[in-house]
Amino acid sequence: MKYYIIFLSVMIISLIASCAGSLPEPTPADAELAEKRWPGTDINFLQHGRKLYISKCSGCHSLYKPGLYTTAQWDTIMVTMSKKAKLNTNQYEDIQRFLTVMSKENDTASKN
């Protein structure tokens, strides 16, 4: 039983790590775009939103690449999913900023 729990834990950690690895990392250009919409937002802020997206959303389902959806689609998804994930206001806003900046409208070939 002990080995089963260890094996299962390693598999879960590996799955989360593989999902996170396929998500785009925010770039300085992304931070500039975010700063125009939300003054004071920098790359560290977007990286924090990415980490929250990974930790809060991968527990229940696979992570979706932000570039697959438009900002409007992410807005709708976030309203529904934030309740299920029990996100507080700050977590919601951090994840939303990351997804908005990395969304389909702002997507580049490197983010797909």
Gap between the Cα atoms of 26 and 15, Å rounded? 22
Domain extent listing, the chain: 2-107
Residues 55-81 have pLDDT tens digits of 999 888 899 999 999 999 999 999 999
More confident residue, 28 or 14: 28
CA-to-CA separations, 63 to 7, 17, 20, 42, 108, in angstroms, rounded:
22, 11, 8, 23, 19
pLDDT for 38-62, tens place per residue? Answer: 999 999 999 999 999 999 998 888 9
